[in-house]
Structure 1
């Protein structure tokens, strides 16, 4: 049986439905992420897991026990907040020890557990410092250590890295992955950052308007989005309107609006005439002045560089096809001493394999 089961949970605030009949299960030891834009219901769902909100309908089952009427302080669940919520008048060690003192643990046990928690987050040398003497990343590690010190069954993390700068956020992501593996506690993580979710998670639930749009491992959500919302929300993606014109055993032909005929992977359950969109990631597209046309599995189109965005390690090229359709492509800047391959208005050719994209019915 799963560690945590969310069964048909609904939460309303007046006429607004924040969480709309959500059901999912989370396994012990899993790093599970609730991902979605602001207002999608992910934080409300997290607050119900913590006990700060009560569901209007449904059940939240933890270790086989219904948590509906269990107050937050009685649940084997701890929460790490975005703003750290550290006590400014307490040292690092005192902050970490606080929940153990509330549980009236013996002093010797508290000392040993605090020391272990400090080692988990590599802050042994900061035990006697106060929060204002620490960096943002160090304060966040103290908050995580305090939440983990008593080894809860479930650790909830509400956008804990959003206040950090990009480089520190990346370092903390690596530390979180390592820490979760070491302590073995189940993490439920809330974020609106798609890259963060893809990097950290065993599984992701993509939420929108109170519902789960797709629940799967990061690789599947990225490469095989279930619908246009997921495709558009997860990373950069071209969505080319298309209609199915022919269906074979493993492939099908689609007519991309105003562009032409292309092959795509067969999608089960659709018919000729089905309208939808081809979801195509920029890094899946080849780009060159001319490209070899000897691969029967590729589709080729000509275009012109409309714009470009230099990002250091890669450059994003916006290609205008002959009919005016704009397609986003991505090339790594891997050649020594070369910052860009193409300039605005350059004539180019682009190509992708039939299985590079994913057809999404309307």
Structure 2
């Protein structure tokens, strides 16, 4: 009898556990936002912001896209409630896209509600669209509606592992863009030239919640190397002798940075050491050289890559100091650590344009393969 009661108790307990949550909502009753795009309202529509959501495929449906315009982000959610029966959830939001026009106006009105929303993770990736976010999502949907979210989420998450482009989270954008005298870099997306997908064209710089500049891929690479953001990427090279091309190829390298700050009287001096380590991916000697298999030839390639990158970084430093007039490479904190009381009041009026920035580049390559 005792054994029978024990069996009954166990069965009742298992039945209770298998019933699931009493307050659960079936997934088919949810609209799960994976990607949110923010733009200025389309021509002719009232409001200050247009929100486009890419919603997850539920049951057997495809991913779908919806756009709402209103004065605020919160009002777009309110308007949606009047004509959509499904509950809108942001708990799975992975990517935030900001249209270029809205980025130039300022993103304060879209960052604030998302940072306050507990279901939105501060680690979601942010990108600027060279155009409208809504149009980019519809463009991708026409190519393959089933893969829009996969492509954008994966591309922005792994890009530093394959190219010298920064990955920027919602938290970093919200915090760093308001730091006095500093700028934060955000990757830029647009439809690919062959119209078969999307591509990253470089990055945009934000200061005080507004986009202040857009950089191409070469400028973005210089920014990443100078700022010490961890990344990997392929870099082409060319070797010349007596004005004639005799070797060209590609290296794959990872970067690291060291910064030293000192003073020469009133002048603050930054010395940046950029080190790149990796391997020789390919090279094609135009004319046969006996140095093809020698260590000296590899040293020549290292020097060629280092010289090219150093020149590009020096150009970017000049552009940053003379035109941007703001720290885009994250070196100001090194000076603040030593002379905060003196420097902090200068950051709003101008600081980075009055310092001396030196850069040196070292490239260390490994020669792989039987032929090198």
Scaled by the length of structure 2, the TM-score of the pair is 0.32
Higher RCO, Cα 8 Å, sep 6+: 1
